[in-house]
Copies of this chain bind each other. A is one copy, B any other.
Amino acid sequence: MMLVNGQPGDSVLALDRGLSYGDGLFETIRFESDKAPLWTRHMQRLAIGCERLRMPAPDAALLWREACQATGELRQCVVRITLTRGCGERGYALPAVTETTRIVAAFPMPQVPDASYIHGVRLHLCRTALADQPLLAGIKHLNRLEQVLARAEWNDPAIAEGLVCDTHGNVISATAANLFAVVDGVLVTPSVARCGVAGVARAAMLDAFEHCQVRDLPLEACRRASELFLSSSIRGILPVQAVGDTVYAPGPAVRAMQRHWQALMERA
């Protein structure tokens, strides 16, 4: 079900700045049996986003109650929380008083075949490149046309994701997941300081795998990686089997991360 500002409903005012300008943030959160193992990290990222966009921080306890209400009878689901700057006068200027809009909605969990976790998924190499915008990088804001354009590049259901680079030829992420690689024996994940989203699954993995290097990952280095895999707060850790014609095999790094993910999910 869906709650809009705490009330059951499915609509928002057409003049909401979330729609007029993409002026807001969102989180998509994995719920399992009324538990959301990465909840605290989602709330931390949302708070950082609010600070960056100069929006009032939400009440995390209120959001938790609303998220639990939205899940209803669903044992496993995805809760999307959208927080916008609400309505205001026409024009870009911030409203004199901000009354944010919050939308809390539950969706069925996407079904990922077991084979994807065992053998990996295939990726399309996207032509759409992410622009450098350090003011918006890392946070999960509502300006997602780059991701929409990248995702529109393929239609083959056998391809699970797209590999997206920045305009300098560095690999950044998938369209809706972060990326890890093992290059010359070193575990790395691309920096999201200039573009891309700082995923909460990525953050949880970085805390656990302290030797992982956060740095630029040129496409050429990505091509010769011995392992390549994705992290997503919804889908967990997925090996990459191929990007176009470049093939990869799952190795010890992705298996270790999958075990850690499983432990995180069970511990909660």
Q: Report the minimal beta-carbon distance from A2 to chain B, rounded to whole angstroms.
A: 6
Known pairs A4-B14, A12-B11, A152-B94; A142 contacts B53 (CB<8 A): no
In contact, B14 and A92 (Cβ under 8 angstroms): no
Name the B residues within 8 Å of A216 (CB-CB).
none
In contact, A107 and B90 (Cβ under 8 angstroms): yes
Among residues of B, the one whose C-beta sits closest to the C-beta of A195 is B131
| Residue of A22, A28, A54, A144 with most chain B CB atoms under a 10 A cut-off | A22
With an 8 Å Cβ cutoff, the count of chain A residues facing the other chain is 56
Does A40 have its Cβ within 8 Å of any Cβ on chain B? Answer: no
In the complex, besides A23-B145, A135-B149, 9 extra interface pairs with C-beta distance below 8 angstroms are A2-B15, A11-B13, A14-B105, A21-B143, A23-B144, A53-B145, A92-B150, A94-B151, A143-B145
Residues of A bordering B, CB below 8 Å: 2, 4, 9-23, 26, 28, 53-54, 78, 80, 82, 84-85, 90-94, 103, 105, 107, 110, 128, 131-133, 135-136, 141-152, 167, 175-176
